[in-house]
Each structure stands twice: as structure tokens, then as C-alpha cells.
A = this chain, B = another copy of it.
Amino acid sequence: MRRKTWQRDAVRDELEQQSGFVSAQGLHATLVTQGTAIGLATVYRALADLASDGDADSLQSDDGETLYRACRTDSHHHHLICRQCGRTVEIEAAAVEKWARKVASDNSFTHEYHVIDIFGLCPDCAK
């Protein structure tokens, strides 16, 4: 049985506050800076639980960190992210949304959600 603790709530709330993907360490640092005394291991555990409950997406960044994002099934958007400076551009993806839903239903998968993000080098960092 999963118990309700203020730590889990704090992690969930802070994750929902974030616009994009965050690392466990980053989220922990944010919480601590805000005056929330919470252990790093607890943040890792809370995020792992959120991800396995389907309340968060997770993916591996190219430098080996696990990144998390609050799972928004309603209105979510995608990002084009510069891997050098972190600059992001919001992108329209209606066609891809539809494609993702179709792939899922073609394979009889339900409760579909997806992680679609594009990375690259922005013009300024390309030189």
C-alpha cells in the first residue's frame, strides 16, 4: 500500500511546475533552494514511482541523466531543444500526435502517451 507523504507531494507539485524535462538532481536542488528539506534519495524514489504509475514521462539525456516530466495527457506541446545552450522552441505536432495515437491503437495499446522531442544545435551554437 502506498502511503501519502508531503515529500511525494512536494516532488509531484514541483515537477508539474516545470515546463520541460528535469533531472532528479535538478529537481532536488530546486526544492532545497526553496527551503524544502528533502533527501536526494527520496526525490529519486518519488520520481521513479511517478514514472511507473504513469504520472511522469522519463527519458535518458545524451549525457546519461534520466530526465522526468509531468505527464500531461490533455494539452501538451513538444520542444526543439538546443543541446548546447538549452534554448527551446515550442513546436506544433498535430500530425504527429495523430500518428502516435494510430500506432498505439493499431497495436491494441490503450492509454497512449508519448515522448517526442527534437534535439540539435541552434544557429548560435553551431559554429
Contact = CB atoms under 8 A, between A and B. Distances in A.
Interface of A: 52, 54, 57, 59-62, 64, 66, 80, 82-83, 89, 91, 93, 95-96, 99-100, 103-104, 107-123, 126
A104 B126 contact: no
8 contacts: A54-B83, A60-B61, A80-B109, A103-B118, A109-B121, A113-B119, A113-B120, A115-B117
Contacts of A122: 107-109
A91 B52 CA distance: 22
A65 B113 CA distance: 17
Contacts of A95: 99
B64 A60 contact: yes
